[in-house]
Amino acid sequence: ELQHLKYQLQPHFVFNILNNIYSLIDTAPKTAQETLHKLSKLMRYMLYYAKKDSITLAEEIDFIEKYIRLMQLKHDEKVKIDYRFSELQDKSYSIAPLLFVPLVENAFKHGVSTQDVSDIFFEFYLSDNKLIFKSENSNHPKTSTDKSGSGIGLENLTKRLELIYPSKHTFHFGVLDGKFIAELQIKLENYG
């Protein structure tokens, strides 16, 4: 079941990025080229690291930072994107790969409006051997007629967490004061 969930995640991720590149081809061809180049680097990570049961926290954070920077290329100044990944003292903890991608994808997919100013914020930090990841974004939910996504991201993540970290995680998400907020806490163990 876990392997099946991983296989769902990878095409879902690629599909979202390819949609972004497609939207840039006519309006910003140079940016589309840069985005495609950056996508190839992320695909290398997905091919080699996603197959592993665990990777270092440093590797996962590096991937998430690259992914956020890739998504920043698509958006103009109306979309305020900020992230704070505190200087984690020890990045040698192990973590399952690609756990945070659905949360980052959702923030960009549902947190950006074509008309209104939008805010997206991500945060990673450690507290008492728990990794805490928070995402907060403007809430611009898709309409029922918008078929641009499959809706499997959060469901897939919930199932993966139950399989990989039973009784070692908490995951909450919802809308508060017009913002969609997600928080994932995982009890970590030292790497290998």
Residue type for position 93: Y
Average pLDDT of span 58-67? 88
Average pLDDT of span 145-162? 75
Residue of 102, 100, 152 whose CA lies nearest to 123: 100
- For the chain, the maximum distance between any two Cα atoms, rounded to a whole number of angstroms, is 48
Please give the Cα distance from 167 to 1 (Å, whole number): 18
pLDDT of residue 181: 96
Please give the Cα distance from 36 to 28 (Å, whole number): 12
Beta strand 79-85 with 118-127: parallel, antiparallel or unpaired?
parallel
pLDDT of residue 4: 47
| R_g of the chain computed on alpha carbons | 16
Paired strand residues for 130: 127, 187
pLDDT of residue 38: 81
Whether 125 and 89 have beta carbons less than 8 Å apart is answered as no
pTM: 0.79
Looking at every residue in the chain, the average pLDDT score rounds to: 82
pLDDT of residue 183: 97
Average pLDDT of span 106-133? 88
112 vs 120, 141, 152, 179, CA distance in Å? 8, 9, 19, 11
Top-confidence residue, 148 or 120: 120
Residue type for position 183: E
Whether 69 and 38 have beta carbons less than 8 Å apart is answered as yes
Q: How big is the chain, counted in residues?
A: 192
Please state, as a whole number, how many other Cβ atoms lie within 10 Å of the Cβ of residue 103.
Answer: 22
Average pLDDT of span 84-94? 76
Paired strand residues for 179: 138, 176
